[in-house]
Amino acid sequence: MTQTYNGWANHATWNIALWIQNDQFLYNTAKACVEYKEENELPYTKFKRCMMFGQVGRHLEQTPDGIKYDDNDIDEAAINEMMYDL
């Protein structure tokens, strides 16, 4: 049996999804990343780039709870799917 965290792969994935879905700035940024990503780019890849290196996030590297957007534990496929559904 696979352990999950509130239906997500792990705590880090749940935390990222929670913040994107419940913070207006992060939600709007995620929606823009889906719409304006490069042709071969995934939405969460664009989101990380915007948040960590772009002017949009002003170099925000983590959620207010301290989960880094580039944490290796994040199930990026699940986050991409969630972002497409926004």
Q: What is the pLDDT of residues 65-75, one digit of tens each?
A: 999 999 999 99
Predicted model pTM: 0.92
Q: What are the residue ranges spanned by the domains of the chain? A: 11-84
Confidence at residue 53, expressed as pLDDT on a 0 to 100 scale = 85
The rounded distance, in Å, linking the Cα atoms of 67 and 8 is: 15
C-alpha distances in angstroms, 49 versus 7, 52, 65?
26, 5, 19
Would you say how long the chain is, in residues?
A: 86
The rounded distance, in Å, linking the Cα atoms of 72 and 49 is: 15
Q: What percent of the chain has pLDDT over 70?
A: 93
The rounded distance, in Å, linking the Cα atoms of 37 and 56 is: 14
**1: pLDDT strictly greater than 60:** no
End-to-end CA distance of the chain: 29
The tens digit of pLDDT for each residue in 41-68 reads 999 999 999 998 877 656 689 999 999 9
